[in-house]
Amino acid sequence: MGTLKLRAIFFYIIVMLSCYVLQAQNALPKIENYTKAELVIRVAPFGLDGNEITVGRISVDGKVHFKWPEIDEADFEASGLFMLKLESFAGMVGCNDKEIEEKKGDIKAVDTKFFLLYNQYGDAVGSLHPSTHKDIRDANSLTVGSYFSWFYSNGDGALKGACTQYNTLENNAEPDKNSVRSIKISDLNFKKGWNIVEHRLLEVNEQKSNDQSYRVRFKEQIISIDKIPISIKWNMEYRANDELLRIERELVAEEPIDKTYYENWLPKKMGDLKRTNYEIGKKMERMPTLNNVQLLFEKGAKRATVTIVDCAGDKKAVSGYTMLQDMASRDWKDKTKTGYDTATKMDDTRVVIEYNENEVKTVLSYNSGDRFVVKAEATNIKPEELWEQLKTLHVEKLVKK
């Protein structure tokens, strides 16, 4: 074979190997039909509230990029409540029959359980669940298949064995060895650091207790694996409302109105009701800000108290604003013992109504002026009449100088 031909073959092999390596590098896990912006992936093996650990990101094309960090051993040791010995997370406790083929190392580890998702602003928006089926989330699932989690171990260790649990005999605490309740098989080989674990449900069984039938996870297996299987599905649960999160960010950044705005705006009447009292900056239960005004209107037996809260610049107040926005966003109606609760549209405003028909008491709650929460509580006034009176207040004018 000529030298030129050998060089050509050698060059072809190099090109093919390079393509293969590049393809392997690009074979990242991917979320199908992904439509969100880039998200941050965190885990919470040591608890929430600032203890979350960033382990990667989801890019705009839905690919999952992991970057597992080193763990400070001091943090690991300080979180003893979340650390488990091999036997515990392998399901080798509470066994009626236990067979251990191999055990190495007296180690402890913590489980990530699943991945927490955050947007670029730090808002918690959902979770990510790698599994073989979209219905499988954790050990409570009764769908045959696997889910995956990552464990951080404080050392090298291994455990291989099986745990069998039996049902108990009727009217007796003794196990019935002729009636197997569950079988758990473990084959774990941990290295210090992060380890991938596959939790397999191999078989589901129908069982009975007190003439009631129920299904149980009958045969399970927990094993260590070296790499993420290509075949698994990356199931994302996106629970956030992006529009409400946007409103929260913008409203928190706004400056609250000055007390003089309320003073200059104060109406003397609401519909045919006369204002008989008011208070600015009142401290109220479950009201996180003093930037509010409360007005009392009366006429005969009719009485209405209107509270207006400026939510701008206050994170807790803004959360109340978006919560009401979400509650009023769609039509719904629930009957109560004395009347009903509902969300509906009154003119162009979404309103939540609580109505006591027996006592003719009405509560209307709604957002106004892109920053105010308005709550009107009235006696001897029906919802439709109260709404017509509230419209005469023109709350939106509060933000106009």
Between the alpha carbon of residue 112 and those of residues 115, 144, 197, the distances in Å are 7, 22, 10
Q: How many domains does the chain have?
A: 2
Q: Are residues 153 and 78 part of one domain?
A: yes
Host domain of residue 73: 29-238
Give a yes or no: residue 368 inside a domain: yes
Last residue of one domain, picked from the residues 187, 217, 238:
238
Closest alpha carbon to 160 in 98, 219, 218: 98
According to DSSP, the residues that pair with 279 across neighbouring strands are 294
In what helix (H) or strand (E) does residue 23 lie, and over which residues does it extend?
helix 3-26
Q: Are residues 225 and 96 part of one domain?
A: yes
**What is the model's pLDDT at position 80?**
65
Give a yes or no: residue 249 inside a domain: yes
Position 56: which residue type? G
pLDDT band at 50 (very low <50, low <70, confident <90, very high): confident
Determine whether 377 is exposed, middle or buried from the number of CB atoms within 10 Å of its CB (0-12, 13-18, 19+).
Answer: middle
**What is the model's pLDDT at position 401?**
47
DSSP 84-101: EEHHHHTT-SS-SEEEEE
Distance of CA 120 to the CA centre of its chain: 16
Position 262: which residue type? Y
Higher per-residue pLDDT: 69 or 399:
69
With tokens 């219905």, the residue in question is 135
With tokens 């650390």, the residue in question is 83
Last residue of one domain, picked from the residues 187, 221, 238:
238
322 and 244 Cβ atoms separated by less than 8 Å: yes
Q: Are residues 371 and 308 part of one domain?
A: yes
How far is it, in rounded angstroms, from Cα 88 to Cα 123? 33
**Can you tell me the mean pLDDT for 79-94?**
78
Q: Are residues 264 and 206 part of one domain?
A: no
241 and 259 Cβ atoms separated by less than 8 Å: no
Q: Are residues 182 and 49 part of one domain?
A: yes
Q: Are residues 317 and 188 part of one domain?
A: no
Q: Are residues 233 and 261 part of one domain?
A: no
Q: Are residues 48 and 115 part of one domain?
A: yes
Q: For residue range 126-139, list pLDDT tens digits in order.
A: 999 999 998 898 88
Q: For residue range 171-204, list pLDDT tens digits in order.
A: 677 888 888 989 999 999 999 999 999 999 999 9
**Can you give the CATH number for the domain in which 382 is found?**
3.40.1000
Last residue of one domain, picked from the residues 238, 259, 280:
238
Q: Are residues 114 and 143 part of one domain?
A: yes
Give a yes or no: residue 3 inside a domain: no
Between the alpha carbon of residue 138 and those of residues 93, 182, 331, 393, the distances in Å are 19, 17, 34, 53
According to DSSP, the residues that pair with 308 across neighbouring strands are 293, 374
Q: Are residues 109 and 34 part of one domain?
A: yes
In what helix (H) or strand (E) does residue 323 lie, and over which residues does it extend?
helix 315-327
Between the alpha carbon of residue 97 and those of residues 184, 205, 303, the distances in Å are 11, 19, 72
Q: Are residues 255 and 134 part of one domain?
A: no
Q: Are residues 281 and 168 part of one domain?
A: no
